[in-house]
Amino acid sequence: MEKIQSSALKGKVVLLIHGGAGNFKESDLGPDQQRVYEKYLREALEEGYKILNEGGSALDAVEASVKLMEDAPVFNAGKGSVLNKEGHVEMDASIMYGKDFKAGAVAVVRHVKNPIAAARMVMEKSNHVFLAGNGADDFARSIGMEMKDEGYFITPSSLEQWKKTKEPASMPKEMNKHGTVGAVALDQNGNLAAATSTGGVLNKLPGRVGDSPIIGAGTYADNNTCAVSATGHGEYFIRLTVARSIAALMEYKKISLEQAVNEVIHHRLQQLGGTGGVIAVDKNGNFIISHNTTGMFRAWKTEKECEVRFFKE
């Protein structure tokens, strides 16, 4: 269990990002690999923070950070997404703005280059919140978004990982990381936003949808309480509506972000046997990163600090 909390930073900005959680330890991730993850996390953090620092919106910041992580081949989102049982990429993403409760999501997309940008467009350019499958890709194409052939998303390492699922006998000890990406932010105007993007889980059944694109499960933002992005075993996060539960506990029980996260991650999720974690920031700039796994790729930046971490502390 890990908790990081900072005191309120009125009018200031806060950005937290994650690149997935899992039961990995220092011995599973060599120094070279650590450097690669750190580089991508720092780039994504700086990209989003710059927007916040210049007075931009939390919504733009979380989208920008997540987009860069989708483009990075080391995370399980966009390029580098895990493959399903049939060897195909099917990606999910969602975004929510705490200012006006607007939200957008896509699921089972196979061609839009940046699923998080497509989710934002569903929110802004359609009358809907959630589009799935071919309809979601068609919508993205119809408004001129960048589309890619499947080969773009499949990396040598994601293909290798998938091939190993077909030969269980020769399967080496898995690093067991989830690899989804996400971001939460508080901007100078006190607005909160959250975004999450994923390739889902390795070897999933075609058509499987996880928590990441489900508003209230993997993503939630409400200016009155907090913004949350989750990563972990999606089926559990859906059943517990993890992200919305954290906000609802704060809203109805009048408890702190830390208490709400603790209740959901370390009591409910733990009891049910789910693994994973969340990044969350409240309307006053208090933030927390909490996971019940041994590792979580995570980074955060405020006026006072800028940190990148991988392992449990």
Residues of the shown chain interacting with ligand ASP in the complex, contacts defined by CB under 6 A: 20, 76, 178-180, 198, 200-201, 210-212, 218, 231-232, 234
Catalytic one among 155, 165, 180, 198?
Answer: 180
Phi, psi of 19 (to 5 degrees): -125, 30
**H/E run at residue 161:** helix 156-165
Closer Cβ to ligand ASP, 210 or 285, answer by number: 210
Are 278 and 243 spatial neighbours (Cβ–Cβ below 8 Å)? yes
Are 128 and 121 spatial neighbours (Cβ–Cβ below 8 Å)? no
Closer Cβ to ligand ASP, 78 or 210, answer by number: 210
**What is d(CA 203, CA 198) in angstroms, rounded to the nearest whole number?**
14
3-state helix, strand, coil in the chain (%, to 5): 35, 25, 40
Q: Is 180 considered catalytic here?
A: yes
CB of 167 to ligand ASP, least distance (A): 23
Residue 259 per-residue DSSP state: H
Closer Cβ to ligand ASP, 122 or 243, answer by number: 243
Name the nearest CA neighbour of 192 among 12, 64, 59. Answer: 59
What is the signed CA dihedral for 239, 243, 247, 249, rounded to 10 degrees? 40
Closer Cβ to ligand ASP, 137 or 211, answer by number: 211
What is the signed CA dihedral for 261, 265, 271, 272, rounded to 10 degrees? 120
Closer Cβ to ligand ASP, 211 or 282, answer by number: 211
Active site residues: 180
